[in-house]
Amino acid sequence: MRVLSGIQPSGRPHLGNYFSMMKRMLEYQSSSDLFCFVASYHAMTSVDAADELSKNIAGVVLDFLALGMDPNKSTFWVQSDVPEVTELTWILSMQMTVSQLELAHSFKDKTAQGIVPSAGLFYYPVLMAADILAFHSNKVPVGKDQKQHLEFTRDIARRFNHQYGEILTMPEADISDDVATVPGIDGRKMSKSYKNTIDFFAPEKELKKQISSIVTDSKGVDESKEAAGPLFEIFSLFLNHGEKEELADRFRTPGTGYGHIKGDLQKKVLDHFADARQKRQQLEKDMAMVYDILAEGAKKARAVAAPLLDQIRSTVGLKY
CB atoms within 10 A of CB 223: 11
Please calculate the CA angle 6-7-11 and round it to the nearest 5 degrees: 165
Distance of CA 54 to the CA centre of its chain: 17
Alpha carbons 63 and 13: distance in angstroms, whole number? 8
In the sheet that holds 33-38, the strands lie side by side as 74-78, 33-38, 2-7, 139-141, 172-174
What residue segments make up the domains of the chain, in order of their start? 2-181+286-316, 202-272
Q: Would you say 6 and 141 are in contact if contact means Cβ atoms under 8 Å apart?
A: no
Bridge partners (DSSP) of residue 34 are 3, 74
What is the rounded distance in angstroms from the CA atom of residue 85 to the CA atom of residue 309? 9
Q: How many Cα atoms within 13 Å fall on the side-chain side of residue 272?
A: 18
pLDDT at 180: 61
Cβ atoms of residues 129 and 92 within 8 Å: yes
Question: Which residues are part of the catalytic machinery?
Answer: 110, 189, 192
| C-alpha pair distances (Å), 136 with each of 4, 22, 171, 196, 309 | 9, 21, 8, 36, 11
pLDDT given for residue 114 in this prediction: 79
Q: How far apart are CA 35 and CA 4, in angstroms?
A: 5
pLDDT in tens, the chain (320 residues): 999 999 999 888 999 999 988 999 999 999 999 999 999 999 998 899 999 999 999 999 999 999 999 999 999 999 999 999 999 999 999 999 999 998 888 788 777 877 788 999 899 999 999 999 999 999 998 777 778 889 999 999 999 999 999 999 999 988 776 666 789 999 998 988 789 999 999 999 999 999 999 999 999 999 999 999 999 999 999 999 999 999 999 999 999 999 999 999 999 999 999 999 999 999 999 999 999 999 999 999 999 999 999 999 999 999 88
CATH architecture type of domain 2-181+286-316: 3-Layer(aba) Sandwich (3.40)
CATH number of 202-272: 1.10.240.10
- What residue type is 37 in one-letter code? F
